[in-house]
Every structure is written in C-alpha cells, then in structure tokens.
Chain A
C-alpha cells in the first residue's frame, strides 16, 4: 500500500514538473482565444468564458503572415534537400574512403565548428552582399547546406554500418556511387530523419540569419515575421499570442511525433564527448 502511494505521488510530482515547463504555452493558447481587453483580467482563468476567434480571423486576413509561413517551409525544404546531398556525400568520404590529408581536413572542419556564429556575422553580411545572396532566401539556404555538425553526425553513423556490405559490393563490381546509393543511404534512414527534424526546427526558429540577410518584409521567414507582426499588433497581446501560437505549434507537433529521432540525435552527438 505504501509503495503504491509512493508511486502515485511520484507520478504526480513528475506531472507537476512537466506542467510547470509547458504552462507558458498553455497561457499562450488561452490568451489567443480571449478578447484583447481580457488578457490581464484574471489570467489564471485558463479556459476563457467565451471563445474569441477574432484574433485568428485577423491573422488569416494578414497581408504577410502566411507568406512568411510559405517562405519558411520553402527554405526548410530546400535546405533539407541540399544538405541531404552535399553532407551525406562528404560524410561518406570521411567515413569510408582513404585519401591524402583526410585527418587534416576533418580537423579543419571540426575547428571551424568551434567558432561562434556571431564572430563572423559582419564578414558574412559583407561577403554574401558581394556574392549577391543578400535579401534572397539563398543567403539562408546555401550557408546552411555546408554544415559541419551533420557531417560529424553522419560520419559517426556511416562508420557504424558493417564494412563487409560495401566490400562485398566492391567485389561485385559496384562503384562508390553504387555503395553510397544502394547501401549507405537506405541503411541511414533513421539518421536522415533526425537530420531533417533538426534542420526543420533550427531553420524554423532561427532569428539572426534571416534578420541580418533578408531586408524585404515579404521575403521574411516566420521568426522575424513574428517580430514585425508583434510591432504591428502593438499592445494587442491577444493578437500577439494568436500569431505566436501557429508558429510554435508546428515544430511542437513534429517533435511530439518524432521525439525518438530527436533524442537519438542529441544522444549521438553528446555522449561521445
């Protein structure tokens, strides 16, 4: 009996911690369904007495809101595709091919990963301007394509695939393209899902890059768009929360379904030390 009580209370305790973590989002949803004047009147009243949908109507009639949405989705999809091609190919070379200067090259990539993004932001802004990338979505997509973090992740994964498979394929006369396409890629689906998930979440939530590189508001992505939207909404906090809701809930839903891949991705990079 005592142990049952212990079990129940521990579950209750953990649920309370979980609720504490997500209570800001509960408040967000609740406020987005209230009339602007009611947000601060009894905010602890989570379920509004009357569901107020006007905030969402305003959102759906907004000039740019869904344009930002579409832009972000486009950038995410293109980044996933480009990254998928260039990063997996380079990771294959680092994992499976012997060539001169391999260790040195890998060390160069790793040390470049140590340099904080903020250090090079000015230089990137000036250089991408010269390259004609500024104020286009390519200024977000192309630099993200050549990403070291995922080379590291995929190389680890590729090295774990048994070598016998590719050696047998070589004896059968397969080229390295054949091994890459028919053995490595099909066996790497889980890690590719992880990469897609992280690419989605990071690109979707990135503020600095679109803020610095894209100047036209109709070309913006959701995060910077939301800031613009907030300035426009002014003191209308209910509208701000409705605008936040539709942007926050997409990655959360994805995360809830693909949590396993998310945790595996972090574990793979973290535990190696």
Chain B
C-alpha cells in the first residue's frame, strides 16, 4: 500500500485515496474541517470587531451606509461618564472577587487535602454550586437576600443585629454582594486546581521542614505556597480574566442597579449594543476592555519572576 508508486503519474483519485496514509495528507483531512469552521465562526468575528469599532455603525441601517470614522468611538469613551464609571466598577468587582476565590479556594483545598471519613461527601457539597444554573442561582439569592423579609436578614435580626444590610438593593453593598455570590458559585474551580497542586508537592520537603522544627503554619508558608506558586500564578491570571465577564449574573441580580451602582463594563457593553443598537461604540468599549485585560496579563507575566518558582 505504502510503496512509492512506480507509475510516474498517479490519478487524482488515487492521490485522494492515499491521503490518510501520508502524514501531510492526513493532516489536511484531520485539521481542515475544524479550521474552516473556526476561522468563519470564531476568528472572523474577532477581526470584524476591530473593523466595526472604527465605524459609525450605530443603528439598524445597512452596513453599506456606515463609514469609517477613525478613533472617534474610542475618544468618545473618555467623555462618557457612565462608561468610565463602568470600567471603575469592574475593577472594584475584581478587587473583591479575585482575592475571594483565591483565598477561599486555597483554604478549602488545604482542608480537603486532609483524610477524613466524610471527605467525599464534603467535597461533593463544596463543589455543588459550580454546576448550578446562573439564572436559578440569581433567583435564589435575590429571595434569600431580600432586605425586608428574606431569610438571611430574618436570621440576622434573630441574632439581634440592627441596621440590617441592604445587600443587592443598597448603593454601597450591591457590587460586593454580587462579587461574593460569584465567589460562592465559581470557587470550585480554584479549589480543585489548588487541591491537585497541593497533592503534587514533594513530601520530602515537608519532612525536611519538620526536622528544621517548622510548625503547621510555617509548613504552609515556607513549603506549600512556594511549591505551588506556578499554579497560583495560573489561577490568578485566569481569575482576573474571568472576573471581567460577569454580564449574566449582574444582569439577573441587579441589572446594574440601584441607579448605576453595579453597572459594570460587561453590562454596559451589552446595553450599548443590544438595547441602544450602538454596535460600533459597544465594540470599541469591548476592545478597550480586552486591551486592559491583556495589559494586566502582561504585567503579571513580567512580575511572576519575583514570586513564581518553577
């Protein structure tokens, strides 16, 4: 079958028939279908986003009527107090969400790393929120955190606490509350990854630390944390990227309210695009968001030398 054919001219049919036997031929067959779909449905929209962000495609008019206007959409963001404050709110959200998932994820992983009788069931319960539907989660928490008669505040009142928090309807509390709900929901990812990394730490390092007289906390700070620092770095980068994508939960929990108190940039982009049909302006904001995430990632990449040990 694989003989380098003696006939100098092979028919086209033969060539096609032999393709799966040759590495290059097989590569084309295996990869081309995916690449065509990927380019058309996923790469082309990326390029198209950049193109329309330089246009004035802002209503339902046909694209042929839109024209290029340079950086106007980008400059407009700086004169738009709602968009600017939406960027700031996204940062504030990140400042609650990222430490939340990182710290709780690490602590839960430490606890789950111990052997105990109910380990399986405790792990299942801890990971459960991760697979729950976002809309259902939002509905549940809206009822639980209802400030006047929700179970959480009823419970707090029972404990004798006055000045009950307003949670999702308070101007100052709405954004951190959303962030904490998302910490609760997505924590499982960080927990599992941390747990796997902790289980991979060289046991002899702990033994050496014990010989040196290290206590429980010193072992965590001087052995565990430095050993898993590449994992911590990976989780930090992905958690920060993920923290900017919170449209579904913000929309369902507060829809940006009260007032604009929790109007984060992802919500602002969707509103500009699909409520106001400002396609070009929304794309410009989305690209600025992408650039911010990119810069944050590059900064972390450069900074990792200081604390990540491979």
**A: which residues have CB within 8 A of B?**
7, 10-11, 14-15, 17-19, 21-22, 24-25, 27-28, 31, 39-40, 43-44, 86-87, 89-90, 92-94, 97-100, 102, 105, 108-109, 112, 114-128, 131, 142-143, 145-146, 148, 151, 173, 175-178, 180, 201, 204-205, 207-208, 212, 222-224, 226-227, 230, 237, 240-241, 244-245, 247-248, 251-252, 254-256, 259, 262-263, 266-267, 270-273
Contacts and interface: CB of A to CB of B under 8 A. Distances in A.
Contacts of A262: 127
Contacts of B137: 24, 248
Contacts of B173: none
Interface of B: 1-2, 20-21, 23-24, 26-31, 33-35, 37-38, 40-46, 48-49, 52, 63, 108, 111-112, 114, 116-119, 121-129, 131-137, 139-141, 143-144, 146, 149-151, 154-155, 184, 189, 192-193, 196-197, 200, 230-231, 233-235, 241, 244-245, 247-248, 251-252, 266, 269-270, 273-274, 279, 282-283, 286-287, 289-290, 293-294, 297
A3 B247 CA distance: 48
A272 B197 CA distance: 10
Given A25-B128, A99-B27, A115-B46, A122 B283 contact: yes
B2 A173 contact: yes
Contacts of B43: 108, 112
In the A-B complex, list the 7 residue pairs whose CB atoms are closest, starting with the nearest: A18-B125, A270-B193, A244-B136, A43-B151, A176-B26, A90-B34, A175-B20
Contact of B131 (A24, A245, A252): A252
Interface of A is mostly: helix
15 contacts: A24-B137, A43-B150, A92-B30, A98-B23, A112-B38, A115-B46, A118-B247, A119-B289, A123-B49, A148-B38, A173-B1, A207-B252, A248-B137, A259-B123, A266-B189
